[in-house]
Amino acid sequence: MTWNVNSFRTMRGYSPWTECKDYKELLDALGADIFCFQEMKVTWDKLDAEIALVPGYDAFFSISRGRGGYSGVATYIRLDRVPTPIDAEEGFTGLLSRPGAQSKLGCYGDLEEEFERDELVQLDSEGRCMITDHEAFVLFNVYFPNDHDAEREEFKLKFYRGIEIRVRALVDSGRQVIVAGDVNAVHMPIDHYNPNCGSFIGPIESHPARAWLNGFLQPRGPVVDLFRYFHPDSQGVYTCWNTKVDGRSGNFGTRIDYILPTPALIPWFEDCTIEASIRGSDHCPVVAVLRDSIETEEGEKKLLDILSPTTYDLKGNLVVREPSKLCARFYDKFLAKQQTLKAFLVNKGPNALAEMEAKPPKGLTAMETMSGGLKGISGTKMSRPLSGGTSAPPAKKAKTAPVPGQKSLLSFFRGAKEESSNTSGSPSQSGVPSGERNPVKLVSNSIRPPNPSSAPPAPMVASLQLEQDGSRSRMRESGEGNSQSSDYSFVDAESIPDMTDLADADECGTELSPQEFGASQAAAWGAIFTRPKPPQCRHGEEAKLYSVTKKGPNQGRQFWMCPRPGPTGMAKELAVNKNERDTFKCDYFMWYRDSARRKMERRINSR
């Protein structure tokens, strides 16, 4: 199976892969024996055991060395069905070999004659190729570049040429080869949703990517388009769709993912299918089905026999195949070979570590040192040092008896007359004992400001603290420079004016209840933050909101377009009749802010 997954880590965020608890369940559900994934989009530092060490699988990675979270390919081998490869190589130039993991494949052809060494390093630095040797064939898992501009087009054509040189060299040496991956090229008009587009106008030689692919395939090249071998006339079968225009729902796609074996391997294949129903990426998988055995002139041949032939050493002992050292299970990060902090400290001197472990950290008791508390950390500076090795909980502040005459916080919000009548500190007029009064009401809406004629209170910094004691609440004020800062006063719920007494009447002379006032406030704020209703496209349907992701002056801006699938102007490009045009996306377009402004103008004009 080959599949451009467009970020392997995010696959489990799509249905049905959300039901998989780990990547083993995901790979098992896909059901293939060998997986060739492209656009893994992982970095070396973020490559963890969850992805690299999937139980029951051997994994081989090629990751971009310059740009993080970009490109990258991975080959997974299911060990209970397929023997692990006898060799592996990252890249196709042979320049990325690691110490102890050099490939024995060889056969590099004229790569060094056609390219400078710096060019070859650059071609292999984006993590686009992983080669595995399966004895019966050599598998190329390749993510070919795309061409966004002239510079990338030149890079793409060099990459094409480099892969072709390596494949032809292996074939000339007698090896069988399978190239699988995202080729980023459409071979024939039948492989494109719009055969009338500019890519198919004129001879095939006028389009470099198509011309290369045509020369790489049989009869001129060394490999066969396996899908077209089994399905030469199938139409509307694609492997990639433009998600920005919802191309998958209308099947506006292209076939740019291929499995390309050498002709001698064709008898081993039973079929090649395109699994368009499998979601999780803007591409879908391409699957090649191999036979378990075939009949030849020499008799029956079994696939497992040629994938893992039995070999013996000079003493007649069976040789057990060991995977290549390029396999992920041999990465240093998974073999615990990384240097630790302890190793760095040992290098400083022969007695550094002994002195560090013998010296207990400051602020710890002997008992804590023996129990292993912060063992091995010397000179650790603690943000809150312990005294005597113990720490007592903070003491709770004792409650203070109320002092008559202290002003309450509510007194600052009342008129002068009301203030003078409530500062005597006498019990409330209700006659209810202080221990049985209701909790204090805190009124926050429409409180009447103090009378301008009253004297302003002395400057102070006040803090409000509520202490629940039975069925009463205390309001405490503390301030600097205020002689009454240590006094207390209790305020009954009955002594606070009702909301209707404090709120002013509206212009019509009607008063709003607290519930009505809150509802009106919520409605007002909701109207401000609610997005405008989507405008209608030329089909009379609600338009769909998109965002500009391309770098430029409009990056980040939003716009409305027709919700129907397919690129804009599809009906005109395909030259369909008038009755069929309504099924395609119309040319409606409007910037998001423009639509909001027009609605506001219409609302103002209608008044």
- The answer to whether 94 touches 165, Cβ cutoff 8 Å, is no
Residue 503 has a CB neighbour count (10 Å cut-off) of 19
How far CA 293 is from CA of 133, 179, 221, 296, 308, in Å, comes to 20, 22, 27, 10, 14
What residue ranges of the chain are covered by domains with CATH 3.60.10.10? 2-332
Provide the whole-model pTM.
0.62
Residues 138 and 131: beta-carbon distance below 8 Å:
yes
Q: How far apart are the C-alpha atoms of 351 and 580, rounded to whole Å?
A: 85
Which residues touch 430 (CB under 8 Å, ≥6 apart)? 492, 494
2-332 maps to CATH 2.40.160.20: no
pLDDT at 275 over 80: yes
- State yes or no: is 187 an active-site residue: no
Q: Which residue in 255, 183, 274, 279 sits closest to 223, CA to CA?
A: 183
Angle, helix 150-172 to helix 208-216, in steps of 10 degrees? 10
Question: Which residue of the set 283, 331, 588, 592 is catalytic?
Answer: 283
- Would you say 74 and 60 are in contact if contact means Cβ atoms under 8 Å apart? yes
Query: Annotated catalytic, 182?
Result: yes
β-pair partners for 141? 130, 180
Please state, for a pLDDT cut of 90, what percent of the chain lies above it. 40
Contact 485, 468 (CB under 8 A): no
The sign one gets for the Cα dihedral 588, 593, 594, 596 is positive
pLDDT at 69 over 90: no
Active-site residue identified among 57, 108, 143, 258? 143
Residues 138, 303: Cα–Cα separation, whole Å: 15
The predicted pLDDT at position 74 comes to 98
Tens digits of residue pLDDT in 7-57: 999 888 888 899 999 999 999 999 999 999 999 999 998 899 999 999 999
Nearest-CA neighbor of 477 among 494, 500, 496, 457?
457
Mean pLDDT of 556-581: 67
Q: Tokens at residue 139, please?
A: 């598998």
In the residue annotation, 33 being an active-site residue is answered as: no
Annotated binding residues, written as ranges, equal 4, 39, 182, 184, 282-283
**CB 260 within 8 Å of CB 226:** yes
Q: How far is CA 534 from the centre of its chain?
A: 28
pLDDT band, residue 538 (cuts 50/70/90): confident
The mean pLDDT of 515-535, rounded to a whole number, is: 76
**Cis check: omega of the bond before 219, within 30 degrees of 0:** yes
Residue 105 is given by DSSP the state -
**287 and 275 Cβ atoms separated by less than 8 Å:** yes
Q: How far is CA 504 from CA 65, 87, 507, 516, 581, in A?
A: 69, 86, 9, 14, 61
| CA–CA distance, 3 with 182 (Å, rounded to integer) | 8
* pLDDT tens-digit map of 214-224: 999 999 999 99
Q: Is 226 helix (H, G, I), strand (E, B) or coil?
A: helix
Q: How far is CA 552 from CA 23, 159, 235, 546, in A?
A: 38, 29, 38, 16
Angle at 27 between CA 23 and CA 30, to 5 degrees: 140
Look at residues 156, 9, 14 and name the one whose alpha carbon lies nearest to residue 69: 9
Known binding residues for Mg(2+)? 4, 39, 182, 184, 282-283
Residue 375 predicted with pLDDT over 80: no
pLDDT band at 116 (very low <50, low <70, confident <90, very high): very high
- Nearest Cα neighbor of 1 from 24, 49, 34 is 34
Calpha distance 521→513 (Å, rounded): 12
Percent of the chain with pLDDT over 70: 63
Strands 129-133 and 87-90: antiparallel
Confidence at 234, pLDDT banded by 50, 70, 90: very high
Is the omega angle on the peptide bond into residue 261 within 30 degrees of 0, that is, cis? no
Q: Is the pLDDT of residue 421 over 60?
A: no
Q: Could you say which of 87, 124, 133, 182 is catalytic?
A: 182
How is residue 529 written in tokens?
């933050």
Tell me which of 271 and 450 has the higher pLDDT.
Answer: 271
Helices (H), 129-269: 150-172, 208-216, 226-230
Q: For residue 167, what pLDDT is reported?
A: 98
* 3-class state of residue 49 by DSSP: helix
